[in-house]
Amino acid sequence: MQFDWYELFDELKRRGHFDSDAQLADSLVLTRSQISAWRTGKSDLGTLTKIKILDALGHDTLRSAVLSLLPEKNRVEQVRQQEHLIARVSGRAHAYGRNGAYHESTPDSPVSRNSLLAALPKEERERIEPHLSTVTLPLGQVVYESGDHLSHIYLPTTAIISMLYVMENGASAEIAVVGRDGLLGVALFMGGETMPNRAIVQSAGEAFRLSGQVVKDEFARGGAIQRLFLRYTQALITQMAQTAVCNRHHSIAQQFCRWLLLSLDRLESSDVRMTQELIANMLGVRRAGVTETAKKLQEDGVIRYTRGLIEVLDRAALETQVCECYKVVKRESDRLFSGLL
């Protein structure tokens, strides 16, 4: 029997309510670069991955075949991931918590679109859900200025917020990006109360807004919210530190690739809407350097750039040109949230 693997992969993504290829790749124990290479016709999915897809979609009773093909290394974890994938596709998704405990989470629930909210135990999630309000964030909106009092935190679902340090002469440089992986406003529960930098919408979309007082009350309980928010804060500190190193020691081309990959990880598609001028402002470099880099990537077939829209055509190639800073940030985030998200 011949299968259309692109069609089956997309069907699995749709039924499992995965926002992107990258999300489903994680459940199939594949890397983003492997999926990108397959999408562009440079590699095959592999026998085990194909059987996993058929198994999850319920085409045949293939569980024994899947188990027999799983490698001994990390076998228990891979079995758990496959069971999680099947549960998610069948509408019984689980968010795993500390020590492997889990709670039921409805894939269609809006809160599941932010990773931190989706990972909360049912009791804590239901306690704060009435206090969440959805806000639309247009491109370029300043959410907070440096020194502003923090009245709310923002938990993006489809938007990306850039945190910028602005100099006295008006020059700026991005120090971190916040998307559906986290939240804006860590200073609120860390005791700072004010925003240390400017926060501006880098990619238009939506976010949940949560009252500062509710955040403080929940954080003081010392439960899952406190643990998740503290781990995210550590991941954010890593991103800030690595961005500072990258801005100092790496080329504009490498910085551009890092920025683009971090943005892709927080979007539902392979398209990034951003002008070269704004990218230059984010990176704190001259626009001519960004223009030259974008032109070279387009000539190499890595991206397609038209009127403020960057379409990534070959993510695998993009990952070969990025500096180590991207992997350092991603590896630390994956380590901190392994088994939690």
For the stretch 245-270, pLDDT in tens is 888 888 888 888 998 898 888 887 77
Q: Which residues pair with 102 in a beta bridge?
A: 96
What is the C-alpha separation between 189 and 229, in angstroms, rounded?
9
What is the C-alpha separation between 341 and 182, in angstroms, rounded?
11
What is the C-alpha separation between 150 and 240, in angstroms, rounded?
20
pLDDT band at residue 37 under the 50/70/90 scheme: confident
Among 82-86, 91-95, 116-120, the minimum mean pLDDT is found in: 91-95
Q: Which residues pair with 177 in a beta bridge?
A: 162
Among 75-79, 138-142, 177-181, 288-292, the minimum mean pLDDT is found in: 75-79
Q: For residue 298, how many C-alpha atoms fall within 13 Å in the half-sphere facing its CB? A: 12
Q: What are the percentages of helix, strand and coil residues in the chain, rounded to 5?
A: 50, 20, 30
Q: What is the mean pLDDT of residues 195-206?
A: 90
73 pLDDT above the threshold of 70: no
Give the model's pLDDT for residue 66.
55
Threshold 0.85, pTM exceeds: no
Set out the domains of the chain in order of their start, with CATH numbers.
5-92 (no CATH), 127-247 (2.60.120.10), 251-322 (1.10.10.10)
186 pLDDT above the threshold of 60: yes
**Rg, C-alpha atoms of the chain:** 20
Q: What is the mean pLDDT of residues 286-300?
A: 87
Q: Which of the two residues, 252 and 171, has the higher pLDDT score?
A: 252
What is the C-alpha separation between 71 and 232, in angstroms, rounded?
31
What is the C-alpha separation between 81 and 23, in angstroms, rounded?
12
Tokens encoding 57: 């979609």
94 pLDDT above the threshold of 60: no
What is the C-alpha separation between 172 and 285, in angstroms, rounded?
9
Q: With contact defined as beta carbons under 8 Å apart, do 208 and 132 qualify?
A: yes
Q: With contact defined as beta carbons under 8 Å apart, do 162 and 154 qualify?
A: no
Q: Which of the two residues, 92 and 255, has the higher pLDDT score?
A: 255
Give the model's pLDDT for residue 93.
44
Q: Which of the two residues, 91 and 231, has the higher pLDDT score?
A: 231
pLDDT band at residue 107 under the 50/70/90 scheme: very low
pLDDT band at residue 104 under the 50/70/90 scheme: very low
Angle between helices 324-337 and 252-264 (to 10 degrees): 30
What is the C-alpha separation between 3 and 116, in angstroms, rounded?
36
127 pLDDT above the threshold of 60: yes
Q: With contact defined as beta carbons under 8 Å apart, do 157 and 208 qualify?
A: yes
Task: Say if strands 309-312 and 303-306 run parallel, antiparallel, or are unpaired.
Answer: antiparallel
The dihedral sign for the CA sequence 31, 317, 13, 335: positive
Give the model's pLDDT for residue 95.
41
Q: Which of the two residues, 185 and 305, has the higher pLDDT score?
A: 185
Query: Which residue in the block uniquely carries the two structure tokens 């290394």?
Result: 73
What type of residue sits at position 240? M
Tokens encoding 149: 């009092």
The three-class DSSP label of residue 17 is: coil
